[in-house]
Structure 1
Amino acid sequence: MTSSLPAAVLWDMDGTLVDTEPYWMAAETPLVERFGGTWSHEQALQLVGRGLSDSARVLQDAGVKMSIPDIIDALTDSVMASLAANGVPFRPGARELLADLRAQGVKTALVTMSVRRMADSVVERIDFDAFDVVIAGDEATRPKPYPDAYLQACTMLGVDPADTVAIEDSPNGLRAAVASGAVSLGVPLLLSLTGVGAHELWPTLDGRTTDDLRALHAAHAPAGSRR
């Protein structure tokens, strides 16, 4: 291929890089039940891709009589315990693609709505130097679906969003990526991404390489992009 590599690839974490959504759902149910409420799978799906403060408000509405920071801490503690017990559950092809990007010298950022200590617990369990920059939910000026976290990552990397590829699994996350100006790739997990605005939807990252992301960016980068 003659087109150049994207300047950076920006990764969502939960549901995109790692399949931790079951861990979050497993943390939510007992928390609601502790206060006498019930929590369905359909309710849990409403929290996928949302900022943790927004999710905590939904849990308060479901009867959890705790402050927003305490809810976030309780959920995060539970998910981190699952990670410690079970390891990092990479989505198919995600680790391999990330490693290939690093081998090719492409900058990478992790852009997640999980808090910093949760993000660090995942990154620390990856057996290579995976990311140049991590933007966590407690560092973003506004949560997804706002583009702030992606724009913050681009600023820290010193790249134009139009020269990047962002990978997301949820509608909220994908809306944030699209709004940032990145070439946006949707890899759905629990929720449909049809009609959300992705430049492309791939059913999986399994078997994908840096060359595939190069071709994706070349096909969809806006006119005037230096790439």
Structure 2
Amino acid sequence: MDPPVAVCFDMDGVLVDSEDYWHPAERDRIFPAVLAGELPDLDEVTGMNYREIYDYLDDEYEVTVSEAEFVELYDETATEVYGERVRLLPGAREFVDDLRDAGVPVALVSSSPLHWLDIVLDRFDLEFDLVASADEFDGLGKPEPGVYEDAIDDLGTVPEHTVVIEDSRNGVLAAHRAGARVIAYRDEHNADTDLSEADEVVEGPEELFAAVRQSIETVRASASGSSGSSG
């Protein structure tokens, strides 16, 4: 039996519009409070786990706070962003439920820590077959492929049978390097982001859901053709 076709959603900037709040928070409040001198471009760190953001900034810029202080500032911001401000992608809950009802395993794969993910899952009453956080992954997070490789394995499938939805360059690179089919979600927050490593770039929920459905059918047709020709 062929491995199932599976779908992996990123959270920030795809499932919820959190990048609309994270980007100004990082640009205007967090980075000026933790760095002296030059500030990074947001695309450098978007999609990365916040602990790895600290390590990156410590290597490339002049950090003025400890990692514990940095993490506390991010956690305080996250409580407000996820608990009060973000909105769910219109139609996302129903779409995820429909996929799961149709026998398609669906995962949430994020660089955010589990306690941030839990806020979103509880607030919007979301259910997935797998919830994977790079914060719990014993290895490098996005843009490295390990978090997706682990999630794909845990879903009981293979990369070529997996459709990933991402919005950041780091996330797209991670999914692409893992060997999955990558759909990049374009919105105002990433209008100028390089998403060229994605197999497809879409805008808006309806276009996204249609692209995921079409990708599932494409993967199934390819798998069926391969099975038919192997005998």
Which TM-score band (shorter chain)?
A: 0.7 to 0.9
Give the letter aligned to residue 200 of structure 1. Answer: E
Name the structure 1 match of 2:134: 137
Q: 1:193 to 1:59 in 2, by over 3 A?
A: closer
Q: For residue 99 of structure 1, report the CA deviation from its aligned partner.
A: 2.9
In structure 1, C-alpha distance between the alignment counterparts of 2:174 and 2:108, rounded to whole Å: 14
Q: Structure 2, unaligned stretches of length 5 or more?
A: none
Contact kept in structure 2, 1:108 and 1:133, CA below 8 Å: yes
Residue of 103, 114, 128 corresponding to 2:112:
114
Contact kept in structure 2, 1:51 and 1:137, CA below 8 Å: yes
In structure 2, C-alpha distance between the alignment counterparts of 1:92 and 1:5, rounded to whole Å: 30
Name the structure 2 match of 1:182: 180
Deviations 1:3-26 (A, max 9, x none): x99521011111111111132234
Name the structure 2 match of 1:217: 219
In structure 2, C-alpha distance between the alignment counterparts of 1:185 and 1:222, rounded to whole Å: 22
Pairs within 5 Å for 1:190-205:
190=190, 191-196=192-197, 198-205=198-205
Name the structure 2 match of 1:97: 95
Contact kept in structure 2, 1:171 and 1:193, CA below 8 Å: yes
In structure 2, C-alpha distance between the alignment counterparts of 1:82 and 1:30, rounded to whole Å: 14
Deviations 1:127-150 (A, max 9, x none): 24x211111121222111111111
Contact kept in structure 2, 1:33 and 1:39, CA below 8 Å: no
Give the letter aligned to residue 192 of structure 1. Answer: T
Cα RMSD after superposing both structures:
3.1
Q: 1:113 to 1:225 in 2, by over 3 A?
A: farther
Give the letter aligned to residue 176 of structure 1. Answer: A
Q: 1:36 to 1:107 in 2, by over 3 A?
A: closer
In structure 2, C-alpha distance between the alignment counterparts of 1:35 and 1:113, rounded to whole Å: 21
In structure 1, C-alpha distance between the alignment counterparts of 2:38 and 2:180, rounded to whole Å: 35
Contact kept in structure 2, 1:24 and 1:75, CA below 8 Å: no
Report the TM-score when normalising by structure 2: 0.79
Q: Structure 1, unaligned stretches of length 5 or more?
A: none
Q: 1:66 to 1:20 in 2, by over 3 A?
A: same
Contact kept in structure 2, 1:23 and 1:79, CA below 8 Å: no
Whether 1:76 and 2:78 are equivalent positions in the alignment is no
Name the structure 2 match of 1:11: 9
Deviations 1:176-207 (A, max 9, x none): 111111111111231434422x2222122325
Give the letter aligned to residue 31 of structure 2. Answer: V
Whether 1:33 and 2:32 are equivalent positions in the alignment is yes
Q: 1:212 to 1:126 in 2, by over 3 A?
A: farther
In structure 1, C-alpha distance between the alignment counterparts of 2:64 and 2:224, rounded to whole Å: 47
Report the TM-score when normalising by structure 1: 0.80
Q: For residue 167 of structure 1, report the CA deviation from its aligned partner.
A: 0.8
Which secondary structure state, in structure 2, belongs to the residue aligned with residue 85 of structure 1? helix
Q: For residue 160 of structure 1, report the CA deviation from its aligned partner.
A: 1.5
Name the structure 1 match of 2:148: 150
Deviations 1:91-139 (A, max 9, x none): 34434432321332321111111111111211222224x2111111212
Give the letter aligned to residue 219 of structure 2. Answer: H
